[in-house]
Amino acid sequence: MAELKLLFEHAHKPDFRTLKGYLANDGYKGLKKSLKMEKQAIIDEVKASGLRGRGGAGFPTWIKWNGIPKDKTQPHYILCNADEGEPGTFKDKQLMEECPFELIEGMTIAGFCTQAEVGYIYIRGEFVDAARSLRNAIDEAYAGGYLGKNIQGSGFDFDLYIHLGAGSYECGEESALMSSLMGERGMPRLKFPHAPLPTIAGLFDRPTVINNVETYCCAPYIVDRGGEWYATLGASTKNSRGTKLFSVSGHVNKPGNYEIEFGTTLMELLELSGGMKGGKLKACVPGGSSVPIINATDTEIAVIGYEEMAEVKTMVGSGACMFLNEHTCIVSFIWRTALFYANESCGKCTPCREGTKWMEQILRRIVMGNGQPGDMELLLQITEQIDGRSFCGLGDAAAWPVAAALRVFPEEFEYYIKHGTSMVKSAESKAMAPAWQQPVLA
């Protein structure tokens, strides 16, 4: 299956970043149509489209939009999660840099149908080019009457602000993001069912829709071409509709962002990315570093869809697909992943604060050649004590990769613990390891 470019159709065209260029390529058709529609009819189109959130969890978008109170008694907010901190993911960055008006239009449509008058884009601080591109586009949208008071003479007012985060993975978790935006520490808040949903009490304790960049970017196309049309994309899958952006990295010849239709296979995605580099396929982490790793056999049969990926015990996640070749030491790879989560744990809850550190330390001693009998069992036990027992999703995200690696590649851990060195002895493996670790692999 070839690439199917919907959101990325005009990416790479420099003038698509300007209002003039955006309008020349059918931009703002969705918003103009929306402004003449009933608010509920827009939400119904999103429902018909089958759009699910692209931030990782795949939650149906229309349910969030529909959950905002219809009788407005207080301010409503539209919030965009542009933190994109999951290792391997870089699709939102490209969307914001090259297609900023898609995001602005999508958020404005969401604002119109949920009666919100203010939107915030919480963008990762390092994304300077993306923030600059959005800043220019927002200025042009104000000047052109697509933001601000009385948008296109409709009587609808909508203001949009950019907020640059200070660079923390945890600030991508929606309640931590809201805390950070409100000037508090970027730590998560109590969630449903122990606290109201963000649609009832989100940002500033007001009704809030929070979606990922890619999710909002789909809205203009859904309204313009119809939810039913959108739902024809990906129709071969059980319940995944539309296109999905995948950030492909690892041992491939052409790493980059690819837009594919749901129902495409992982092998087709690999082919689009130029095939394997430096050796045969060994493993794949298809949806960002937090999703379970799968071996080559499962990669060869995996179909990209939320339910389909679950059949091979992994996930679509945020769409960051890492292909690993035969020279990859899985133990070292998982240790590097665990190191990331241990560093990013905010420390609020015990299972994650303690567990992520313990996992990293045990994996570190294994890759340093000091693994001990029982380390695999201990690691597994820790993953079980973190998974489902943490205050927010970061704990689960830290536990899943370790648990999956132990399940899928047990022989690599056994060998490393027994011999004090990796069973993968190729030069490529050494090159992947940080300098201080290389003597262990020699």
Ligand X SMILES: Cc1cc2nc3c(=O)[nH]c(=O)nc-3n(C[C@H](O)[C@H](O)[C@H](O)COP(=O)(O)O)c2cc1C
Contact residues for ligand SF4, defined by CB under 6 A: 170, 188, 345-349, 352-353, 390-392, 394-395
Identify the residue among 27, 50, 85, 351 touching ligand X (CB under 6 A). Answer: 85
Please choose, out of 39-47, 65-73, 76-84, 411-419, the segment that lies near ligand X by the rule CB under 6 A: 76-84
Q: Is 225 in the site for ligand X (CB under 6 A)?
A: no
Question: What is the nearest approach in angstroms of ligand SF4 to the Cβ of residue 389?
Answer: 9
Q: What number of chain residues touch ligand X (CB under 6 A)? A: 24
Spatial distance between the Cα atoms of 202 and 350, rounded to a whole number of angstroms: 25
Q: Is 197 in the site for ligand X (CB under 6 A)?
A: no
Please choose, out of 36-44, 54-62, 99-107, 346-354, the segment that lies near ligand X by the rule CB under 6 A: 54-62
Nearer to ligand SF4 (CB atom), residue 126 or residue 354? 354
Nearer to ligand X (CB atom), residue 32 or residue 348? 348
Nearer to ligand X (CB atom), residue 102 or residue 173? 173
Question: Which of the listed partners (ligand SF4, ligand X, none) does 83 bind, with a CB threshold of 5 to 8 Å by partner kind?
Answer: ligand X
Nearer to ligand X (CB atom), residue 210 or residue 403? 210
Nearer to ligand X (CB atom), residue 53 or residue 255? 53
The residues, ordered by sequence, that sit 6+ positions from 206 with a Cβ below 8 Å of its Cβ are 74, 75, 76, 77
Q: Is 53 in the site for ligand X (CB under 6 A)?
A: yes
Please choose, out of 14-22, 171-179, 221-229, 361-369, the segment that lies near ligand X by the rule CB under 6 A: 171-179
Question: Which of the listed partners (ligand SF4, ligand X, none) does 349 bind, with a CB threshold of 5 to 8 Å by partner kind?
Answer: ligand SF4
Please choose, out of 100-108, 235-243, 379-387, 388-396, the segment that lies near ligand X by the rule CB under 6 A: 388-396
Nearer to ligand SF4 (CB atom), residue 104 or residue 346? 346
